[in-house]
Amino acid sequence: MDLTRDVIYRGFYLNDSSVETDLTAGSPIAGCSLDSFDFSDVDVNQFSEKRSQQDGNDAGDVFLGVRRVRVGGTLYGSTRANLFDRLWALRAALSPTLAQREEPQDKGYRPLYFSVPTDDTSYEGGLIELFIYAMPRALSASMIRDMSGGEDDDALAIPWQATFVCKDPSILGATPVDNVFTEQTIVTGATGQNTGDTITLTAHGLADGDRVRFTTLTGGGGLSSTITYYVVNKTDNTFQVSLTEDGAAVAITGDYSAVAYVVSVTNSASDLDNRGTYIAPVNALWIVGPQSGQIAATVGDSTFTIAVAASTYDRIIRFKGEDKVLTVEEVAVGDPSTTVTAEAPTYNWLTFTNGTTWPVIDPGPGQDWSFTTHGCVQQTGSHWWFYERYA
């Protein structure tokens, strides 16, 4: 913690860097300064059980528990009245009930912002902007007669101490590492021919190996709207589809008068950097259409799929790695701000396909990630992100 820089909680400057930098001889001080800041007290949670026939314990996995933050500072007022006004403001800022009212879903755990300098040139301005979700638990600000005598117009100072608790012990970068997903659109105007097993659409722009999922199949037979196909044998204006890459064309058993499809989209990279010093959980949000589909991901040390069921409405799918929950909320078509059904957990859509489960990003550079969306019409506003974390 760098006490030469601002520390802010709920809009109150617990450490106002201008208090000392603006000092002039003979002028009264007004503001708040931290004299100490300690966030090193973190519980370690581990299952342990006494062995039945010998000394020692059996131990389970290690998890970090509650973090306690202890701060001490001095509150300055240019007059006695000014000091007491500032003291009321400090008490309000460090009220757990007011912290919860500010954002009820956070249950009183609000961001405590601070910063530290760094030699890493990837940080703008040579500063790592950080925060931790903290709830105030105690504030002590004692008036002592020998220290607070004088007249109402005299400048005055009072020492204070406070304790915060953090149910999430993580120290997070203030700005998330955010990756935007490519929007998908439904391609219309195609037809399907029994003769030649081809889909016809002038200048379709597809390439062999592209994956498509059909959203409209009027008349005809042989194709399905619940299967992701590979494009094969494409020409400028026609293409066939296969169940496997470079495989045999699927037979169309009757002419389709109208065909529409969605091209699968992959967002991936191999240069992901986590500049923090601690593992970072992954979060993602997809705004998708009413069509069925699948989202396949490999990120961090995890591989998983989300099987998106068909619906009447658009959906917002939230992958909350911080809380280890997948939720779905149905919204008005074309208007994600209008809720149709409330957000609810939907674990049965989620399948992990390797030994690990919820992904985390290890500290370090050059990490791989990939998200592929099949069929469910991924819309603007879809993205995934994580906060760089510090031990």
Q: How confident is the model over 149-207, as pLDDT tens digits?
A: 667 777 888 999 999 999 999 999 999 999 999 999 999 999 999 999 999 999 999 99
When pLDDT is averaged across residues 291-312 and rounded to a whole number, the result is 94
When pLDDT is averaged across residues 74-97 and rounded to a whole number, the result is 94
Model pLDDT, residue 252: 97
* Residue 252 Ramachandran class (φ > 0 left, ψ -120 to 50 alpha, else beta): beta
Q: How many CB atoms lie under 10 A from the CB of residue 160?
A: 21
Q: Which domains does the chain have, with CATH numbers?
A: 7-173 (2.40.30.200), 186-263 (2.40.30.180), 266-390 (2.60.120)
- Residue 380 DSSP code: T
When pLDDT is averaged across residues 304-321 and rounded to a whole number, the result is 96
When pLDDT is averaged across residues 224-231 and rounded to a whole number, the result is 96
Model pLDDT, residue 331: 96
Kindly report the average pLDDT of the chain as a whole number: 93
Q: Are 185 and 377 in contact (CB under 8 A)?
A: yes
Q: Lowest mean pLDDT: which of 24-28, 138-142, 278-282?
A: 24-28
Q: What span, in angstroms and rounded, lies between the C-alpha atoms of 318 and 382?
A: 10
Q: How many CB atoms lie under 10 A from the CB of residue 61?
A: 7
Per-residue pLDDT at 26 exceeds 70? no
Concatenated DSSP letters of 100-123? HHHSGGGTT-EEEEEEEE-S-TTS
Q: Are 215 and 262 in contact (CB under 8 A)?
A: yes
Model pLDDT, residue 290: 95
Q: Are 15 and 7 in contact (CB under 8 A)?
A: yes
Q: What is the pTM of this model?
A: 0.86
Per-residue pLDDT tens over the stretch 96-132: 999 999 999 999 999 999 999 999 999 999 999 999 9
- pLDDT above 70 covers a percentage of the chain that reads 96
Q: Lowest mean pLDDT: which of 54-58, 89-93, 113-117, 147-151?
A: 147-151
C-alpha 20 chain-centroid distance: 36
Per-residue pLDDT at 25 exceeds 60? no
Q: What span, in angstroms and rounded, lies between the C-alpha atoms of 245 and 232?
A: 8
103 phi, psi to nearest 5 deg: -150, 90
